[in-house]
Each structure stands twice: as C-alpha cells, then as structure tokens.
Amino acid sequence: AIERTLSIIKPDATRRNLTGKINAKFEDAGLRIVAQKRIQLTMAQAGKFYEVHAERPFYGELCEFMASAPVVVQVLEGEGAIAKNREVMGATNPKDAAPGTVRADFAESVGENSVHGSDAPETAAVEIAYFFSGLELVG
C-alpha cells in the first residue's frame, strides 16, 4: 500500500550540510518528499515528540541534542514507505547499520544518528500530525 512516514534529518546532519545527500538516498529509493521544512525545535517540543522515551536514561540528552541546531522535518510517501524508509536509514546504531544506508554513511553515534523515521502506521500518523497540517502535504 502507498504509505506516508515522518522523517527527521537531525542536528548532526544539518550541521554538516548533509540534507541534500540524505534526501538523494530517500528519492533514489523511490520515496517522494511530499512535505518538508527546516525548523529549530525547543526543548519542550523535542520532549513532547519523544514522550514515549521519557523514562529512558538517554531522554534528556536526546532532547538537548534535538534542540541543539535546526532539523529538517519531512513526510515521505511511497509503496511501503515506513519499512522502506527504515531500510534506507539503517540500524539505530551506526555500528550495526548496513553499508550504503544513511546511518552507515553519516551517523556519528547511536544518539547522533542523523535521521529519525516513524516505526509503524499509527506512530506515522501521530508524528506527521505533530509537524504538518493536511494542507502542507502535497503528493
């Protein structure tokens, strides 16, 4: 089925001018960028986005990192977009990421791992709605 997923290009990647190279990997895999904006998250906005991780030991560090520089939030659309995006991103820890994936090529550590992608249809819907209105999604 055609799906949409929420993707975030994280501060470690925007700092190193990697937005275009990461977008090329998404587009080469057949994912269409149907919405995209560069924003500076506050700690509170990052905290709400990652609410499900609030009890994890790395939560504070994760929120500080996500608010440390601009991010690019985007909606990717395509056949099986959620799984396809996760394939293109590679494993959370760059040490485990397959060659050619975004995280293998660009991520600096498990925390500063260049990209986020929704993990399921329900989370994709919630995460897309967190950043975008329906009118901003142009398929």
Q: What residues act catalytically?
A: 116
Q: Which is nearer to ligand CMP, 101 or 113 (CB)?
A: 113
Gap between the Cα atoms of 74 and 5, Å rounded: 8
- Pattern of binders to ligand CMP over 13-52, x per CB under 6 A? ----------------------------------------
| Tokens 């799984």, located at residue | 83
The single residue listed with the structure tokens 């709605």 is: 129
CB hemisphere CA count around 100 (13 angstroms): 6
Determine whether the annotation assigns residue 86 to a binding site: yes
Question: Is the CB of 60 or the CB of 138 nearer to ligand CMP?
Answer: 60
Q: Where are the beta strands (DSSP E) in the chain?
A: 2-9, 32-39, 71-79, 115-117
Among 106, 116, 131, 132, binds ligand CMP (CB under 6 A): 116
Binding stretches for ligand CMP (CB under 6 A):
53, 58, 61-62, 92, 110-111, 113, 116
